Structure 1
Amino acid sequence: MLLFSENSKAESDLEHSILIVTPDSTKMDKVCEQLALRGFGEIKRFLGTIEQLELFEDTANIGCIVFDASHLESPKDAIEIIDIQLSKNVTKIAFSNKDSLLLAEEFEKNEIKYCYYPTQLNRLGSLVYKVSQDKIELGNAIRITIMGCKGGVGASMLSYYAAEFIAKKRQSPTLIVQGAYGTQNLDLISKVAISNEVTLLQNNLSGYYEEKSQAWQYHNDIYDNYECVIFDFTGYNASDENIENVLTHTDCLLLICDRDISSSRMAKKIIEANNHLMNSNNGVRRLYICHNNHHGKISGEVNTQEISGLIGKSVDITIPYLIKSGDPSLPINFNGKNIQYLESMCNLLLGKRKQTLTKIGLFDSLKKIAQRG
């Protein structure tokens, strides 16, 4: 007998949009004009450099990016930014005012189409048209691991909420994989019955229980059908070999600690292992620490500052003790004002840094007005 009713929602087939990135408004208009002539669908604009792409919020359902590479000497930095902010599967087309065959060849070798601006501007439209007819290639999913540093730290709950947030934010197929040696409670969290096969939880979000024969593995034909895969793993009693496998194959790792000092010890062990791997250029470069206060304060437990001191690395995100309104026995949710904590955590996972706003005083405001006059 099933605990919950089957989810019969179908994934929606949305037409992919095109994103144009350039800091030059004249180039922006000319590129958009070429695309408009060919009758393309939605065209999104970002007036900035490719390095500033993290500031662009409307990243959902982008299938092709056309970006200004005039200031770039190599395509490698652009590739990393695009893969994190959009998708590894997105089609990449660069245009530049550098008429260099060598530079063009380097972009082409990295699977980025290259056009010389402005003489090859008409070729730009035909390139976008051609690639828009091709299906998105699979097998390049972004792999994000959320690892609990001991049992009961709330890693599975955070993994589910993160996967749900990312699926809605990116509007692209997302899979949450619960490790074979974890709690296997994804059905209780999602309220959808899960078999030993991939199960649709909601639009763009599916769930899967990892089989023990494939435990701790990041290469599975199933994963190739998704743009982002969230792995919910537990570091408790994990062997050194398993930890090394995580550090070697994941694109991003978020370690979940609570106030128990044993979780800090485990986090420190994983960080030290990663530092060792980094000496041979094999570790994970985006490793973050989350302090999840999943229960009320108990005397003798460590705080966020003490955790940072114990592991030798600053805590990147702290989630306070959130009691669900009406019934403290129910799991937390991130509705209302609490969404800020989930958004901050997912921004880390997606490579978006928090933007700091400079507060302007009354005197400064009056000074600026006077200067305009």
Structure 2
Amino acid sequence: MLLFSENTKVDDVIENSILVVTSDPNKMESVCEQLAMRDVGEIKRFLGNIEQLESCEDTINTDCIVFDASHLDSPDSSIETINLQISKNVNKIAFSTKDSLLLADEFEKKDVRYCLYPTQLNRMGGLVHQTAQDKTYTNSAIRITLMSCKGGIGGSMLSYQAAEFIANKRQSPTLIVQGAYGSQNLDLISKVAISNEVTLLQKNLSGFYEDKSHAWQYYNPAYENFECIVFDFTAYNAADENIENVLTHTDCLLLICDRDISSARTAKKIIEANNHLMNSNNGVRRLYVCHNQHHGKISGEINTQEISGLIGKSVDLTIPYLTKPGDPSLPLNFSGKNIHHLENLCNLLLGKKGHKPSKTSLLDSIKKIGQRG
């Protein structure tokens, strides 16, 4: 009789998933060969530059990224891309053909291990193991804020839809926080009872009501288990110090306006405050404006172009009035053909650049007509 079957064996080693990023096929083979020799775990490949990481379709559950930094003079842009497309908590290892101690030190100060290619290639496997063992959790979730510049313009619904989309797309723990001075209607939207404690809404998505005694805070022990946090705040009743707190601590800010001129005035005030903070290296770098047309057109209301003129900044995204047939209580219906509006919104929040079709010039049109003849 067997006392211990093979099924009772427990493997204490959790296999890591390593993504290798380089546009050079020869480097890809060399790096992957070294990692395979060290048996570091599952190796995934993306043949492209780190700036093209948004095109990679296999970033989910990545523990470590090894990327080619030969064309980079600073780690900043690569770190920002990795944080948005994968996670702030992923281990980062850069390899480069630049033999520069100053550049290597700059990467190391940003918690990115640096290898000289190809002379230090044999260190790669060891570094993957070392970073996996030394990694300690820090509260470094991506913080995205959606601010309604007027009451009753669908900001909470938009925030929930964005948080749900991001949670499904990134397949990582996501939290939506509704501000203490907002509508407090997240339970109606999610159809789950929510309180001042973190509540699971669905897989990878939780909700939380901010308490008035701890309003406008971006750091809370309750946030430590999440990789992305979407804050649903209201701007029209916020004090100047609260606006400054948002501009100082969020990674991305989306200002939501409607056709009412008062929302444009509030957005303009926040944009001007951020421009002032940017002069002293503060403020939020990724600030966007969304025109949410949450109801049918009414005579005398302003349009998207007029909003841009009033706030001194182009509107980045316009969401048309979308209704669900037979259910006017849900003004945002992103199902079916309307899903691209939500995708565009979330790509904006996650730092993905939209690919706009190039405009055809008059000369090109004449050439095409001539070719047909």
Normalised TM-score (structure 1)? 0.88
Query: How far did 1:312 drift?
Result: 1.1
Alignment-derived partner of residue 277 in structure 1:
277
Could you tell me which runs of 5 or more consecutive residues in structure 2 were left unpaired when the two chains were aligned: 1-13
Q: For residues 230 and 136 of structure 1, what CA distance do their matches in structure 2 show? A: 24
> Which residue of 2 is the match for residue 233 of structure 1?
233
What's the offset of the Cα at 1:155? 0.6
2:53 corresponding residue in structure 1? 53
Give the aligned partner of residue 6 of structure 2: none
Q: Deviations over 1:65-88 (max 9, x none)?
A: 100111222222322222222221
Aligned equivalent of 1:68: 68
Q: Answer yes or no: is 1:176 the counterpart of 2:171.
A: no
Please give the secondary structure, in 1, of the residue aligned with 2:63.
strand
Q: Which moved more, 1:189-198 or 1:146-155?
A: 189-198
- Quote the Cα distance in structure 1 between the aligned partners of 2:311 and 2:73: 38
CA contact (8 A) 1:17 1:63 kept: yes
Cross-structure match for 1:3: none
Alignment of 1:268-307 (within 5 A): 268-307=268-307
1:27 maps to 27
> What is the aligned partner in structure 1 of residue 157 from structure 2?
157
Partner of 2:3: none
Higher mean displacement: 308-317 or 113-122: 113-122
Q: Which residue of 2 is the match for residue 8 of structure 1?
A: none
Alignment partners' CA distance in 1, 2:268 and 2:56: 34
Q: 1:340 to 1:136 in 2, by over 3 A?
A: farther
**Which residue of structure 2 aligns with residue 7 of structure 1?**
none
Q: Go from structure 1 to structure 2 and tell me whether the alpha carbon gap of 1:136 and 1:339 turns closer, same or farther (over 3 Å shift).
A: farther
| 1:43-96 Cα distance to aligned partner (Å, 9 max, x none) | 332222222223334332222110011122222232222222222111100111
Alignment of 1:202-351 (within 5 A): 202-351=202-351
One-letter code of the match for 1:20? V
- Match of 1:200, SS? strand
CA contact (8 A) 2:16 2:40 kept: no
CA distance in 2, matches of 1:285, 1:305: 23
Question: Which deviates further from its counterpart, 30-39 or 304-313?
Answer: 30-39
Query: 3-state SS of the aligned residue for 1:225?
Result: coil
Q: Is the 1:67–1:94 contact (alpha carbons within 8 Å) kept by the matching residues of 2?
A: yes
Match of 2:17 in 1: 17
CA distance in 1, matches of 2:225, 2:295: 37
CA distance in 2, matches of 1:66, 1:180: 41
Bigger RCO (CA 8 Å, 6+ sep) = 1
Deviations 1:211-268 (A, max 9, x none): 1111011121222221111100001211111111111111110000111111111111
The Cα shift of 1:16 comes to 5.8
- Distance between the aligned counterparts of 2:104 and 2:312, measured in 1? 44
Q: Distance in 2 between matches of 1:358 and 1:236?
A: 38
1:347 Cα deviation (Å)? 0.7
Query: What are the ranges of 5 or more consecutive residues in structure 1 without an aligned counterpart?
Result: 1-13, 368-373
- Structure 1 residues 15 and 297: CA distance shift in structure 2, 3 A: farther
Query: Aligned with 2:74: secondary structure?
Result: coil
- What's the RMSD between the two structures over aligned residues? 2.2
Matched-pair contact (CA < 8 Å) for 1:257–1:292 = yes
Q: Report the AA paired with residue 158 of structure 1.
A: L
Equivalent residue letter for 2:226:
Y
Deviation at 1:41, TM superposition (A): 4.1
Distance 1:261 1:219 in 2: 33
Q: Give the counterpart letter for 2:247 in structure 1.
A: L
In structure 2, distance between residues paired with 1:260 and 1:94? 49
Cα distance in 2 for partners of 1:277, 1:16 equals 41
AA partner of residue 68 (structure 1): D
CA contact (8 A) 1:20 1:44 kept: yes
Give how far 1:111 is off.
0.9
Structure 2 CA distance for aligned equivalents of residues 331 and 301 of structure 1: 18
Partner of 2:5: none
2:101 corresponds to which residue?
101
Percent pairwise identity: 74
Which amino acid in the other structure matches residue 181 of structure 2?
Y
What's the TM-score once normalised by structure 2's chain length?
Answer: 0.88
Comparing 69-78 and 22-31, the one that deviates more: 69-78
Contact conserved, 1:21 with 1:45, CA < 8 A, in 2? yes
Are 1:16 and 1:61, in contact at CA under 8 Å, matched by a contact in 2? no
C-alpha deviation, 1:119, in angstroms: 2.6
Is the 8 Å Cα contact of residues 174 and 204 (structure 2) preserved in structure 1?
A: yes
